């Protein structure tokens, strides 16, 4: 009996010591930026101590978290006192500090610049376009056709990049693909129509297949968006009018590219 207790305590102590050596990642399921970091860690095999922060309950404003991140945002990485609170900075840091990080974030200056370019494209254009359309709808705002066209315009640009390259930033999958995937799959889950973007649809399937533990790293968070049923707020439009008027600017631009 005593020996069993000693063994159990030894196992618990070893587990605690292992846990103490992991970087802490404060996250929330539905956040696309959080899922970028989670997918990056999954692809690189980085072991993180995941700490769920329920931002709907305001847990990000607790004094103990504000001591770590005064911006009170997720994701936040705490690597033994070294703190980062921007998702793409976290993803690149994980790649730079991992032995196989170059596989998704190349060290060659030109190749890295291409990856950075697509990370910035997501952070400054595609993801803001997504938020601009769908975040107000979560609070009850009606569907905004003009905002939808802006989002479609950014998706059209991604479609063109994928026509030119095998992946978003070149011939190999990179963290740019993971960043963009988090945004695009969330938009799709919110109800955004990806019809007319065949390269994006193909790329989603291809990228998803290369991410270990995809269910945990991205799909579980995507599923939370499906519950909002945001596109049910869109005014009803007949199929005839939808074909000829709704999405027409984007559809015309896509057809011109073909």
The yes-or-no answer on residue 4 being catalytic is no
Q: What values do phi and psi take at 24, rounded to 5?
A: -90, 135
The boundaries of every CATH 3.40.30.10 domain in the chain are 22-102
Digit-coded pLDDT (tens) for 75-109: 999 999 999 999 999 999 999 999 999 999 999 99
Q: What is the CATH number of domain 106-257?
A: 1.20.1050.10
Distance, in Å, from the CA atom of 201 to the CA atom of 108, rounded to the nearest integer, reads 29
pLDDT of residue 230: 74
Read off the pLDDT of residues 112-144 as tens digits, 9 standing for 90 and up. 999 999 999 999 999 999 999 999 999 999 999
Instruction: Give 235's contacts (C-beta < 8 A, 6+ positions apart).
Output: 142, 143
CATH 1.20.1050.10 segments of the chain: 106-257
Separation between Cα atoms, residue 136 and residue 129, nearest integer Å: 12
pLDDT over 80 at 11, yes or no? no
Nearest CA-CA partner of 193 in 250, 135, 245: 250
pTM for the whole thing?
0.84
Four-way CATH pick for 22-102: 1.20.1050.10, 3.40.30.10, 3.40.50.460, 3.40.50.300: 3.40.30.10
What's the pLDDT tens digit per position in 182-208? 999 999 999 999 999 999 999 999 999
Q: Residue 29 in 3-state DSSP?
A: coil
Please calculate the CA angle 24-101-178 and round it to the nearest 5 degrees.
75
User: Residue 99 phi/psi, 5° resolution?
Assistant: -60, -30
Query: Would the pLDDT of 13 be above 80?
Result: no
Say whether pLDDT at 240 is over 60.
no
256 cis-preceded (ω within 30 degrees of 0): no
Query: Which listed residue (4, 10, 31, 123) is catalytic?
Result: 31
């Amino acid at each position: 009996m005593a020996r069993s207790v000693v063994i159990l305590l030894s196992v618990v102590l070893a587990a605690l010591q292992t846990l103490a050596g992991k970087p802490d990642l404060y996250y929330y399921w539905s956040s696309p930026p959080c899922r970028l970091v989670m997918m990056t860690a999954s692809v690189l095999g980085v072991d993180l101590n995941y700490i769920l922060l329920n931002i709907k309950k305001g847990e990000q404003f607790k004094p103990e978290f504000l001591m770590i991140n005064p911006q009170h945002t997720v994701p936040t990485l705490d690597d033994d006192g070294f703190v980062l609170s921007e998702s793409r900075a976290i993803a690149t840091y994980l790649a730079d500090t991992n032995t196989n990080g170059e596989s998704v974030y190349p060290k060659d200056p030109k190749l890295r610049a291409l990856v950075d370019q697509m990370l910035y494209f997501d952070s400054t254009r595609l993801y803001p376009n997504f938020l601009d359309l769908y975040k107000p709808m979560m609070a009850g705002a009606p569907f905004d056709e003009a905002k939808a066209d802006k989002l479609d315009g950014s998706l059209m640009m991604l479609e063109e990049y994928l026509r030119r390259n095998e992946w978003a930033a070149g011939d190999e999958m990179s963290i740019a693909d993971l960043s963009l995937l988090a945004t695009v799959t969330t938009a799709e889950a919110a109800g955004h129509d990806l019809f007319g973007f065949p390269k994006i649809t193909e790329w989603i399937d291809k990228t998803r297949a290369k991410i270990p533990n995809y269910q945990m790293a991205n799909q579980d968070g995507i599923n939370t968006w499906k519950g909002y049923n945001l596109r049910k707020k869109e005014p009803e439009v007949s199929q005839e009018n939808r074909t000829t008027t709704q999405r027409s600017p984007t559809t015309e631009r896509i057809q011109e590219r073909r």
